[in-house]
Amino acid sequence: MSRLFLPLTLVAAVLFAAAPIVVARAPFEETMGLVQKVFYYHVPSAMLMFVSALICGIASATYLFRRSAAADRLAAAAGELVALFGLIVMMTGPLWARKAWGAWWVWDARLTSSLLLWMIFLAYLLVRRYGGPGSEKLAAGMAIFGMANVPFVYVSVNYWRTLHPKTSVVMTLGPGMRGAFWFCVAAFLTFYALLLTVRKRLEDQRARIEHLYLSLDEQEPAGLPRH
């Protein structure tokens, strides 16, 4: 984990430093013009929000059925990142929508279901934090239901008639934009990997400290003052 930290930080820093230049150099989209450039941040964040929800759900299922505490810590890290990347999606989306549709928000299937997915994981974090002892299991159940929502959100644009652009837009990008787009995806992906490993490591260390405290308590003879 810690060996990955430095290279990931460096790569993410370089990619993010270069991203504005790459995005600025990409050709303007004909109809949308400058606003379209939000796309380079919105879509990679949305992709990672889905990926993170899937990681959180699968890790939670592993925790529930295999009783792996490490999987639960991974789920906790991924759950927080769903909230973070979801926040980016929810902020960049309206910026574009205001220009493209004339409204910050419309209640169409894609937007509603993405908002719900994001809310499910906010609720996941709330339970983890305020559920008291044993809340990890509760949260894991929540994450599995949240994961079930992901394919639903993904296909919603293609099956329902919605205002939101279809997922095929990514594959039909112009040549100049395609490079910039995948560059941004790579930047966000490295950044995501960095955050996930750091957050997971923090949880691991926390679990170790807890374990040490517990074993210390067991060793201490009764009657001595406790920490």
Residues that bind another protein (CB under 8 A): 64-65, 112-113, 116, 119-120, 122-123, 126-127, 130-135, 137-138, 140-142, 144-146, 148-149, 152
Minimal distance, residue 102 CB to another protein, in Å:
23
Q: Is 134 left (phi over 0), alpha (psi -120 to 50) or beta?
A: left
Residue with Cβ nearer another protein (46 or 142): 142
CA angle (15, 79, 203) in 5-degree steps: 85
Residue with Cβ nearer another protein (61 or 88): 61
Residue with Cβ nearer another protein (87 or 144): 144
Minimal distance, residue 126 CB to another protein, in Å:
6
Residue with Cβ nearer another protein (133 or 225): 133
What stretches of the chain show up as alpha helix (H) in DSSP? 2-25, 39-66, 69-100, 109-130, 135-159, 175-219
C-alpha–C-alpha distance, residues 115 and 120, integer Å? 9
Minimal distance, residue 10 CB to another protein, in Å:
38
Six token digits for residue 34:
């400058």
Q: DSSP label at 37?
A: G
Minimal distance, residue 73 CB to another protein, in Å:
18
Q: DSSP label at 33?
A: B
C-alpha–C-alpha distance, residues 79 and 76, integer Å? 5
Residue with Cβ nearer another protein (77 or 142): 142
C-alpha–C-alpha distance, residues 213 and 193, integer Å? 30
Minimal distance, residue 145 CB to another protein, in Å:
5
